[in-house]
Structure 1
Amino acid sequence: MKSTLRLFLITLITLTLVYCSPPDQKESSDEGWVELFNGENLDGWKAVAGQATFEVVDGVIVGKAVADSPNTFLITEKEYGDFILELELKIEHLSSNSGIMARGQFDPAARDGNGLVFGYQIEADPSERAWSAGIYDEARRGWLYPLDLNPVAKSAFKMGEFNKYRIEAIGDEIKTWLNGVEVAYVVDDMDSQGFIGLQVHSIGNPEDAGRETSFRNIRIKTENLDPMPFSKDIFVVNNRLNDLTDYEVTKGWRLLFNGQDSEGWIGAYKETFPDFGWSVTDGVLTIAASDGAESTNAGDIVTEELFSAFDLAFDFKLTEGANSGVKYFVTLSEGNEGSAIGLEFQVLDDERHPDAKMGRDGNRTLASLYDLIKADKQPRFVKPPGEWNKGRVVVYPDNRVEHYLNGVKVVEYVRGSQEYRDLVAISKYKIWENFGEAPEGHILLQDHGDEVSFKNIKIKTLN
């Protein structure tokens, strides 16, 4: 009887020690994961920046929207550097856009002392846009990884169900998964540590007050991290300076500009690189301002190599009122004066350069297929002169072509299609036979007499 009682007391003490551990320290049994939410209360968390409410209901954190409130965040009291985070999130109404802050930041003095949350946010987007698990820079730079860059992942989010998110923030790399689907990959070093946060978004319609966003099974791992490799070919938004991740290299990406010199580039219609006008400084390739005229000073530069089907990405920065362009399928065979002829991703200050109002229906504006197709873009996705924008041109083996600006697709067409040829027939290019239909050509950076800079120029050949 005594031995039975002794065994009972030992068992009771052991269970008490296990289940009374502090909620922010209790480890799950699965390889070092730590539970961030104890399933009972909000110990270790605090609400900031808005008036939405959070409560625990049946082991779930339930956030409720409040009218006339900005975005509200439930954030951890502890900050984290490198980590792998997993949680489940449920949205039951289209008004309940949400997100997960990863290495989030908080300025309590902002907004007249009401506080402001900013930093990396992993999106929960129930709208038709469907950018869930894309990466947004809350209250700072805006979208870093819209799901136009990975459209097959748009169907991963399930409305009215718990969705499992996995977020890896290791070094300067952030990767996301949603319900097992590989979604986003960003390389960025703006924040190396910060809090984990759960968002209840502001609402535009007071009738949506009380709408719920739910979170559960929140766990984090901060030691002995074993990154999960992406198995699919996911586009990487890489903000390192003229550098590629190992993943990009394995997927066939390479730099077209090495950040140090003009290797791989020559002047258009020339045998060498221009000895004035173009310069490389601190990893940035810049064409100096001259008279604002087209290719009358240093002249355009082109790749020595020819390309057919490819994925080309580049960063560019305009000065006020500047004009330039990135051309492709440049053959250098037309013998024309001025800039070499080719299909052009327009690089332009739409607000200040007169070319934006020329052409037809805006088809000479930023990111347009110059003089042919207007870029379908929103002002919020355009960075002003003095800031870096991200351009991308994808030419598929079947002649489908896409233009992207800051991760958003703004132009799509098919080279050689009847629709394309009809556009050429009413453009400035109508005088050149089979314009833009060459099987291969050079990539060109244009000298239009204005100061424009480029960096992070990378390309991948498509088969």
Structure 2
Amino acid sequence: MKYTRNLLAVLFTSLTLASCAGEQKTEDGWTDLFNGKDLTGWKPVAGTATFEVVDGTIEGSAVAGSPNTFLITEETYGDFILELDLKIEHSSSNSGVMARGQFDPAARDGKGLVFGYQIEADPSERAWSGGVYDEARRGWLYPLDLNPEAKSAFKMGEFNHYRIEAIGNEIKTWVNGQEVAYVVDDMDKTGFIGLQVHSIKKPEDAGRKTTFKNVKIQTENLEPKAFDKDIFVVNNSLNSLTEYEKNNGWKLLFNGQNSDGWKGAYKETFPESGWSVNEGLLTIAATDGSESTNAGDIVTKEQFSAFDLTFEFRLTEGANSGLKYFVTLSEGNKGSAIGLEYQVLDDDNHPDAKMGIEGNRTMASLYDLIKADKQARFIKPVGEWNKGRVVVTPDNKVAHYLNGVKVLEYVRGSQEFRDLVAKSKYAKWENFGEATEGHILLQDHGNEVSFKNIKIKTLK
């Protein structure tokens, strides 16, 4: 009996040591996920790129014809702080770190598919390292057009230090100490840690190396690191603000519960019909497709001059709407009130997309003035949510963004701007678009369109 107990104790100790061989807890509360000797605790999935231990590092090598390959932890994690060093030797070797990653072994005819939050390592001229990408699912959550100062943090051919915090519904990233991305999202609460070797386009790039070392994690007594700078937050929770956003001057223009803060254009009250607030969405009902002749446009009661404005919109097939800014309500015109317009449009199914000059009436364009320079991969299809953003700085520089990517910029009141106005539908209004302040407007164009997460920050 005593012999049996001793044997069981020996077996239990052996199993415990084996299971922890890839994880070694240090005195400061960190746990090493890589023991520096072998890949115990890790497994490669989804591709045929190779991983091996070389001089105390994990060296991943690209393989021609392979999809993205990931070396993932056998254990999954919920809340954590992860730090590691990552080196890329060639511009073809895009990489990344999966945080709360997911794996479907049955996908792609049994070859498997990794998906979920990925913290980017981008050695290209785009330089979006540290941004947050939703691998094989929603695409970019935090492209670095939202934080251009961080584009210089990553160094090609050197080890770059990554810090990733995934605590609750917040993901924050640093590269070489530079604050990079801040995402609020609740799609995945747990998952594995993964190291990526990206697919390659050219056979001659086979064998290119991506190297990882010093991979460690904290899962207990977490102390989040505060951002010192005012970093833009991608907040995917419904009509809410983090304390960080509030402290940096953001406020909701739509509270998700009622029409407080809004009224009908040229009216004293909110429209009695047409516009509705339901389940956190602000929606204009479909009518006959005509411009502002039914429920009519709505405007903020407050006026703004320099600001950072974000909103999300969901189109129905063939829908047309718009968000206007610097709306003064002084023109007395019939139809929609006059203002600079961020176009909200189904480019594929509404005829307005083919009107105007060289596409300047398409989604995210400055309507009838400047075409949005956008790629199809950054446009969400009809029925899904697109994120709009308009930034107006005190010196009258203006930028439009679509899903986090800057698609146009101009200067209000510049000669170039006035030349564009002179050959547009706005030419008949003196000093169009140059008011010192104005309302924000959402347009009724007779089609069903929904809005949410409308928030603004005054810039000084």
Task: Name 2:155's counterpart in structure 1.
Answer: 158
Change (3 A) 1:61 1:422: same
- Please state how far the C-alpha of 1:20 moved relative to its aligned partner: 9.4
For the 8 Å contact 2:23–2:35, the answer to whether it is kept is no
Matched, 1:87 2:99: no
Identity %: 79
Distance (whole Å) between structure 1 residues aligned to residue 409 and residue 237 of structure 2: 28
- Please state how far the C-alpha of 1:23 moved relative to its aligned partner: 2.8
For the 8 Å contact 1:23–1:35, the answer to whether it is kept is no
Question: Paired residue for 2:183, among 164, 172, 186?
Answer: 186
For the 8 Å contact 2:23–2:34, the answer to whether it is kept is no
Distance (whole Å) between structure 2 residues aligned to residue 133 and residue 42 of structure 1: 25
SS for the counterpart of 2:34 is coil
- Please state how far the C-alpha of 1:28 moved relative to its aligned partner: 1.9
Distance (whole Å) between structure 2 residues aligned to residue 198 and residue 279 of structure 1: 46
For the 8 Å contact 1:317–1:453, the answer to whether it is kept is yes
- Please state how far the C-alpha of 1:29 moved relative to its aligned partner: 2.7
Matched, 1:27 2:32: no
Task: Name 2:8's counterpart in structure 1.
Answer: none
SS for the counterpart of 2:109 is helix
Change (3 A) 1:362 1:20: closer
C-alpha offsets along residues 310-331 of structure 1, whole Å, 9 cap, x if unaligned? 0000010000000000000000
For the 8 Å contact 1:311–1:394, the answer to whether it is kept is yes
List aligned pairs for 1:295-374, cutoff 5 A.
295-374=292-371
Task: Name 2:7's counterpart in structure 1.
Answer: none
Distance (whole Å) between structure 2 residues aligned to residue 233 and residue 420 of structure 1: 30
Task: Name 2:265's counterpart in structure 1.
Answer: 268
C-alpha offsets along residues 54-78 of structure 1, whole Å, 9 cap, x if unaligned? 0000000000000000000000000
For the 8 Å contact 1:23–1:36, the answer to whether it is kept is no
Task: Name 1:12's counterpart in structure 2.
Answer: none
Distance (whole Å) between structure 2 residues aligned to residue 213 and residue 90 of structure 1: 6
Matched, 1:76 2:65: no
Task: Name 2:221's counterpart in structure 1.
Answer: 224
Aligned length: 444
Distance (whole Å) between structure 1 residues aligned to residue 414 and residue 380 of structure 2: 32
Structure 1: runs of 5 or more not aligned: 1-18
For the 8 Å contact 1:293–1:449, the answer to whether it is kept is yes
Give the TM-score, by structure 2 length: 0.96
Amino acid at match of 1:22: C
- Please state how far the C-alpha of 1:238 moved relative to its aligned partner: 0.2
Task: Name 2:205's counterpart in structure 1.
Answer: 208
SS for the counterpart of 1:431 is coil
Distance (whole Å) between structure 1 residues aligned to residue 341 and residue 214 of structure 2: 49
Matched, 1:422 2:419: yes
- Please state how far the C-alpha of 1:25 moved relative to its aligned partner: 3.7
For the 8 Å contact 2:22–2:39, the answer to whether it is kept is no
Task: Name 1:109's counterpart in structure 2.
Answer: 106
Distance (whole Å) between structure 2 residues aligned to residue 422 and residue 70 of structure 1: 49
Distance (whole Å) between structure 2 residues aligned to residue 24 and residue 95 of structure 1: 30
SS for the counterpart of 1:227 is coil
Amino acid at match of 2:168: G
List aligned pairs for 1:375-386, cutoff 5 A.
375-386=372-383
Give the TM-score, by structure 1 length: 0.95
For the 8 Å contact 1:98–1:125, the answer to whether it is kept is yes
Amino acid at match of 1:58: D
Distance (whole Å) between structure 2 residues aligned to residue 340 and residue 42 of structure 1: 64
Change (3 A) 1:443 1:39: same
C-alpha offsets along residues 323-375 of structure 1, whole Å, 9 cap, x if unaligned? 00000000000010100000000000000000000000000000000000000
Matched, 1:387 2:346: no
SS for the counterpart of 1:428 is coil
- Please state how far the C-alpha of 1:26 moved relative to its aligned partner: 1.5
- Please state how far the C-alpha of 1:22 moved relative to its aligned partner: 3.0
SS for the counterpart of 1:433 is coil
Distance (whole Å) between structure 1 residues aligned to residue 79 and residue 312 of structure 2: 27
Which 4+ runs in 1 deviate beyond 2 A?
19-25
Question: Paired residue for 2:142, among 142, 145, 150?
Answer: 145
Distance (whole Å) between structure 2 residues aligned to residue 22 and residue 339 of structure 1: 66
For the 8 Å contact 2:23–2:41, the answer to whether it is kept is no
